[in-house]
Amino acid sequence: MTIDNIIQNAVAKAVNELYGVEVEAKSIVPQTTRKEVEGNLTIIVFPWVKAAKKAPEAVGAEIGDWLVKNEPTVSRYNVVKGFLNIVINPTFWNSVLSDMAATENYGKVAAGENSPLVMVEYSSPNTNKPLHLGHVRNNLLGFSLAEILKACGNRVVKTNIVNDRGIHICKSMLAWKKWGNGATPESTGKKGDHLIGDFYVLFDKHYKAEIKELMEQGMSEEEAKEASPLMQEAREMLRKWEQKDPEIRSLWEMMNSWVYAGFDETYRRMGVDFDKIYYESNTYLEGKEKVLEGLEKGIMFRKEDGSVWADLTDAGLDHKLLLRADGTSVYMTQDIGTAKLRYQDYPIDKMIYVVGNEQNYHFQVLSLLLDRLGFKWGKDLVHFSYGMVELPEGKMKSREGTVVDADDLIDDMISTAREVSKELGKLDGLSEAEVEQICETVGLGALKYFLLKVDPRKNMTFNPKESIDFNGNTGPFIQYTYARICSVLRKAEETGTVIADYSGVIPNEKEIALIQNLSDFPSTVAEAGRSYSPAQIANYTYELVKQYNQFYHDYSILREEDAAVRSLRLTICKVTANVIKTAMSLLGINVPERM
Handedness of CA 111, 116, 122, 126 (dihedral sign): positive
Q: Are residues 383 and 411 in the same domain?
A: no
Tens digit of each residue's pLDDT (9 = 90 or more) over 143-183? 999 999 999 999 999 999 999 988 899 999 999 999 999 99
Q: Quick check: is 12 in a domain? A: yes
Judge if 210 and 327 occupy the same domain. yes
State the pLDDT at residue 329.
Answer: 83
CATH number, domain at 257? 3.40.50.620
Do 218 and 287 lie in one domain? The reply is yes
Percent of the chain with pLDDT over 70: 98
CA distance 131 to 197: 10
Read off the pLDDT of residues 465-515 as tens digits, 9 standing for 90 and up. Answer: 788 888 889 999 999 999 999 999 999 999 999 999 999 999 999 999 999
- Between 239 and 548, the more confident residue is 548
How many domains are there within the chain?
3
Residue 94, domain member (yes or no): no
Q: Are residues 209 and 263 in the same domain?
A: yes
Residue 431 is predicted with a pLDDT of 86
Same domain as 578, residue 432: yes
Average pLDDT over residues 7-23: 96
Give yes or no: residues 83 and 180 share one domain.
no
State mean pLDDT over 559-564.
Answer: 95
Kindly indicate the confidence band of residue 401, based on its pLDDT and cuts at 50, 70 and 90.
very low
Q: Residue 393 above 80 pLDDT? A: no
Domain-embedded: residue 95: no
Q: What is the mean pLDDT of the chain?
A: 93
Residue 112 has pLDDT above 50, yes or no: yes
> What backbone torsions phi and psi does residue 162 show, to the nearest 5 degrees?
-95, 125
Could you tell me the CATH number of the domain that includes residue 490?
1.10.730.10
Q: How sure is the predictor about 581, in pLDDT bands with cuts at 50, 70 and 90? A: very high
Q: DSSP for 161-213, please give it.
A: EEB--SHHHHHHHHHHHHH-TT--HHHHT--HHHHHHHHHHHHHHHHHHHHHH
- 339 and 289 in a single domain? The answer is yes
| Residues 416 and 363 both lie in one domain | no
Q: What is the pLDDT of residues 416-426, one digit of tens each?
A: 898 888 888 87
User: The domain containing residue 19 runs over which residues?
Assistant: 3-89
Does residue 371 sit in the same domain as residue 416?
Answer: no
Q: What is the pLDDT of residue 2?
A: 84
What percentage of the chain carries pLDDT values higher than 90?
A: 85
Are residues 459 and 434 part of one domain? yes
**561 within a domain of the structure (yes/no):** yes
The model's pTM is: 0.91
Is 509 within the bounds of a domain? Answer: yes
What is residue 404's predicted lDDT score, i.e. its pLDDT?
80
Query: Do 203 and 324 reside in the same domain of the chain?
Result: yes
Q: How far is CA 344 from CA 205, 219, 284, 341, 363, in A?
A: 43, 50, 15, 5, 21
Residue 490 lies in a domain: yes
Please report whether residue 264 resides in a domain: yes
Same domain (yes/no): 261, 349: yes
Residue 401 is assigned to a structural domain of this protein: no
